[in-house]
Amino acid sequence: MEYAIGLTVVILLGAFGLGFVIFVHELGHFLVAKFCGVKCEKFYLGFDIAGLKICKFRWGETEYGIGILPLGGYVKMLGQEDNPAKIREEMERAKQGGEGQGLAASAASEERSEVRGQGSEVGKSENPESLVPHPSPLAPTYDPRSFLAQSVPKRMAIISAGVIMNLIFAFLMAVAAFWIGVEQIPCILGGVLPGEAAWQADLRPGDEILKIAGKKMHQFRDLQTAISLGDTEEGENVSLLVRRPGVEEPFTVMVKPARSGNALAARIGVGNGYTTRLMENRDTWLVQEWHPVFPGSAADRAKPPLRNGDKIVQIDGVPIDNFAQIAVELARKVDVPIKVTVERAVVGTDGKPTGNTKRVTAVVPPNPMRDLGMVMKMGKVKAVQVNSPAAGAEIVPGDKIQDPAGDPMLLPDWLRQRAGETVDLTIQHEGAKSPNTVPVRLRWPIDFHALGAVMFSSPVASSSLGVAYQILNQVDRVIEGSPAAVAGLRPGDLITKATFIPPDDETLEKLGLEDQKENSLKFSDKMLNWATMMSVMQNLAPGTKVKFTFLRQGKEEKAPEITPVESGNWFNPDRGFRFEPITFERKADSFGNALALGGQETLEALTIVFRSMKKLSTNQVSLRALAGPITIVKMILRMADEGTAKLLLFLTLLSANLAVINFLPIPVLDGGHFVLLAYEGIRGKPANEHVQTVLAYIGLALILALMAWVVGLDLGLISRQG
């Protein structure tokens, strides 16, 4: 019951936040229009398509309401119309007293000029009626309360008022957020994706990025923005100033951001940093329970059980001070039980923490890999890490390693077991006629990414060798008696699709994994997704089944559902621990400081929008990265769940987005109207009515196409991966 109430509160907060951003924009138009004496006939949140509306009421001359389509809002002013089909009709309706009388004022002005030219004769006239002008078809006059009757500066003020209000609102929300205090994530790395730019440059978990291209980094979001939306073009080197635990002085590395795999923008392949503390069971409205370990994993089988908030202080007697040390220990002790000593809060008889802690040592068994019994063909080397054994052996991208492990998925573990030794590897260099045997001295692993990350076309990486290689989509052999063999898969089958089928809802609810739904992963020449699929499979609910679609001799076939089995000699370095992210609170220490921080945040939000648009125009950011209304609502709900300050900062970004997008020079948007008004101000007359109508149709088509695109992305009708 409490969860349902909390969820309702979050939804209401999210709806209020989104509605308020739109309300503020329309309120700007409304207030300035009223100030200029313009008649406002409607003020709506959402659109009342075909007259459908949730509610309405009339106050004075204005009808206020909420439309059935929640994709924006509008203020309907007399004489102002965005619908191309009604522009002419609205202009006629705004004319003063009909067509004939509507021309009177202009004619009057001209006849008065003529009268003044006649001198004393007119002055002597005794009949005042002789000065009343007669209608003339020279130019129309509009109802003095219509939008069209206002001067160009007034109409410009009305049109731009919505954008200005959004900017003011964004600033105030940011100031309020920093006055409350915002929880932010520092620019410390927690994960480095195999084969990506950061991995190639030998960046590691625990590294702190101090500057990018000379610009200071305050939080992890700054890194993401600097890389994806920075001034450098894709493929150009970017300098990073890095501080590494255990290294005295910061040092500089060069990385080359790129769009790869399923990336929607240029990236270097890093994730945010983690503490050594297991996930807290925090108060939240959207999630009923936070697990400290992944259900069904090795960590879930620890004895005694691990608890929320446990802080790891030792692994097998080795002191642990940071997450990087945990990564090293897990990478090197893959196939043996480990003793994990945690610092745990002491709870009193009343169930509340006493303020004291105690140390508890739990034994965590190895984490068997879930396997299918399919061995895929080895692909080419995708990337080589700097200063690695592979680099020393002159292995380069495009080379092919002849797999000594007999399975490319097992090669990283085969190499790990021989760390500190010199092994002979057979390398087929690209373009060479025959393979070459190369002696390589292997190092101890520094991180675990043997399985790749949950990214499309992720390679498999060996930390001991310092190489990342692809695995092809074609079956090389099938282990006798394995689930894949029972399902009838054969050597030569080309995998085209894998569908994950979760267990029943009751099982998922017991595991606390209700969010897991049936989903699919596609394979193609550009999407070598076997390593990705295996990585995903390890993190799904126990009992999840896999169903393959494949090509056999050019004909598409489907295999029956396969249940993965736990391997007896292949183990997952990731034992299922869930760690708290590293965070810090950024809070203004004075009202002046809050204003300064709010101003910086608002300016940053605006520049993000402009930089995103620039990158979109050059395809350095994919159009598939755009968020539609459904995604925006989900993000608002998540931010509302994380706290008031987070919600306010997101509303700052959203309001800045709305301001910029609305002021784009596209007909039917505020920016398009502003351009036409500027034209009218320069030329002294409005643009041709026919031209305005054509431009309005073009603008409307662009907006509708964009809405169809983003809603399609939101609903999954258009793939974000291409």
- Would you give the end-to-end CA distance of the chain in angstroms? 42
d(CA 236, CA 86): 50
The more confident residue out of 86 and 176 is 176
Using the 8-state DSSP alphabet, how is residue 138 labeled? T
The more confident residue out of 431 and 298 is 298
Residue 11, pLDDT score: 65
Which helix or strand (DSSP H or E) is residue 158 part of? helix 152-180
Domain residue spans in the chain? 1-22+153-181+590-722, 98-131, 186-272, 275-368, 373-563
Residue 326, pLDDT score: 92
Residue 487 neighbours by CB under 8 Å, 6+ apart: 548, 559, 560, 561, 562
Using the 8-state DSSP alphabet, how is residue 621 labeled? B
d(CA 573, CA 328): 10
Task: Give the position of tokens 């002005």.
Answer: 109
Which helix or strand (DSSP H or E) is residue 330 part of? helix 323-332
Q: Does domain 275-368 correspond to CATH entry 2.30.42.10? A: yes
Whether 186-272 and 275-368 share one fold: the answer is yes
- pLDDT band at 517, cuts 50/70/90? confident
Residue 253, pLDDT score: 94
What dotted CATH number matches 373-563? 2.30.42.10
Give the range among 100-104, 184-188, 447-451, 554-558 with minimum mean pLDDT. 100-104
Residue 101 has pLDDT above 50, yes or no: no
d(CA 45, CA 62): 14
Spacing of C-alpha 586 from chain mean position: 22
Using the 8-state DSSP alphabet, how is residue 297 labeled? S
Residue 135, pLDDT score: 41
The more confident residue out of 135 and 537 is 537
Residue 636, pLDDT score: 82
Query: The pTM is what?
Result: 0.80
Question: Taking a C-beta distance cutoff of 8 angstroms, is the pair 402, 429 a contact?
Answer: no
Q: Report, as an integer, the average pLDDT of 619-628.
A: 81
Mean pLDDT across the chain: 84
Residue 630, pLDDT score: 80
Residue 615 has pLDDT above 90, yes or no: no
Which of 349, 329, 332, 351 minimizes the C-alpha distance to 341? 329
CA dihedral 72, 75, 81, 85 (to 10 degrees): 50
Residue 312 has pLDDT above 90, yes or no: yes
d(CA 95, CA 142): 4
**Strand ranges in 155-263 using DSSP code E only, listed in sequence order:** 182-184, 189-192, 208-212, 215-216, 238-243, 251-255
> Nearest 5°: phi and psi at 184?
-125, 165
Beta strands 215-216; 208-212: pairing state? antiparallel
Residue 136, pLDDT score: 40
Question: Taking a C-beta distance cutoff of 8 angstroms, is the pair 356, 346 a contact?
Answer: yes
Q: Which two tokens stand for residue 313?
A: 């202080």
Q: Report, as an integer, the average pLDDT of 694-712.
A: 87
Dump the DSSP string for 166-190.
Answer: HHHHHHHHHHHHHHH-EEE--SBEE
Residue 220 has pLDDT above 60, yes or no: yes
- pLDDT band at 680, cuts 50/70/90? confident
d(CA 81, CA 94): 11
> Nearest 5°: phi and psi at 48?
-90, 70
The more confident residue out of 639 and 89 is 639
Which whole-number Å values give the CA distances from 40 to 51, 258, 408, in the listed order? 18, 50, 69
Amino acid (one-letter) located at 301: R
* CB burial readout 47-78, b (16+ within 10 A) else e: bbeeeebeeeeeeeebbbbbbeebebbbbbbb
How many residues appear in the chain? 722
Which residues make beta-bridge pairs with 303? 363
Give the range among 46-50, 248-252, 523-527, 557-561 with minimum mean pLDDT. 46-50
Task: Give the position of tokens 């609810």.
Answer: 509
Residue 40, pLDDT score: 92
- pLDDT band at 454, cuts 50/70/90? low
State pLDDT tens for residues 404-439: 999 999 999 999 999 999 999 999 998 888 899 999
Residue 479 has pLDDT above 90, yes or no: yes
Q: Report, as an integer, the average pLDDT of 168-197.
A: 92
Residue 510 neighbours by CB under 8 Å, 6+ apart: none
- pLDDT band at 449, cuts 50/70/90? low
State pLDDT tens for residues 262-297: 667 788 889 899 999 999 876 655 555 678 998 889
d(CA 156, CA 539): 55
Dihedral angle sign, alpha carbons of residues 13, 19, 23, 24: positive
- pLDDT band at 96, cuts 50/70/90? low
Residue 134 has pLDDT above 80, yes or no: no
Q: Report, as an integer, the average pLDDT of 562-585.
A: 92
Give the range among 277-291, 392-406, 519-533, 663-677 with minimum mean pLDDT. 277-291
Question: Taking a C-beta distance cutoff of 8 angstroms, is the pair 586, 184 a contact?
Answer: yes
CATH classification for the domain delimited by 186-272, as one of 2.40.50.140, 3.40.640.10, 3.40.50.720, 2.30.42.10? 2.30.42.10
Residue 288, pLDDT score: 56
